[in-house]
């Protein structure tokens, strides 16, 4: 499965939630919807990362793809930018880390210029919020539905940068 196909079910869910969450009067329910959405988003991000890394390895050699499939099976939510860069991409060599850094810096600059947002921060927020909700059952006060949607859009851009970086 191509990593971009992973986004379709989440896009459908968000389209549905767009008609529900903004109209919820109960803050408890709204926060839980946002928390569940954060969990879903980070799960999709993890699946995308696995698809990219395993696909890259399979193009090199079938056995390497199988090996990477086993290694990345135990990713366990390690999808922060620091983890992607230093833990996952680094295994494939500094050349790919440098490509990723260049692509991320350009995407960050473009987003700051055109939308006045940091895709790196938005992406990181969703991961922090997911962890808080999944492990403690609460969301930080700065977590909101709109910010979660921004984090999802930012994550798509970051994952696109990773996919471009993981090419020869």
The per-residue pLDDT for range 104-152, each reduced to its tens digit, is 999 999 999 999 999 999 999 999 999 999 999 999 989 999 999 999 9
- Chain-centre distance for alpha carbon 149: 12
Taking the C-alpha atoms of residue 58 and residue 65, their distance in angstroms, rounded to an integer, is 4
Instruction: Reduce the secondary structure of 81-112 to three states and give it as a string.
Output: HHHHHHHHHHHHCHHHHHHHHHHHHHHHHHHH
- Does 2 score more than 80 pLDDT? yes
Global pTM reads 0.91
């Amino acid at each position: 499965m191509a990593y971009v196909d992973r986004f379709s079910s989440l896009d459908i869910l968000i389209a549905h939630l767009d008609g529900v969450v903004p109209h919820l009067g109960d803050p408890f329910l709204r926060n839980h919807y946002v928390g569940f959405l954060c969990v879903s988003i980070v799960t999709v991000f993890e699946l995308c990362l696995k698809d990219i890394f395993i696909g890259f390895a399979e193009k090199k050699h079938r056995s390497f793809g199988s090996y990477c499939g086993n290694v990345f099976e135990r990713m366990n939510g390690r999808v922060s930018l620091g983890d992607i860069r230093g833990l996952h991409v680094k295994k494939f060599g500094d050349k790919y880390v440098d490509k990723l850094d260049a692509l991320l810096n350009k995407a960050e600059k473009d987003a700051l210029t055109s939308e006045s947002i940091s895709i790196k921060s938005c992406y990181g927020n969703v991961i922090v919020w997911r962890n808080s909700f999944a492990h403690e059952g609460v969301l930080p006060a700065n977590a909101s539905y709109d910010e979660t949607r921004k984090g999802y859009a930012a994550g798509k851009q970051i994952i696109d940068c990773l996919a471009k970086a993981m090419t020869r």
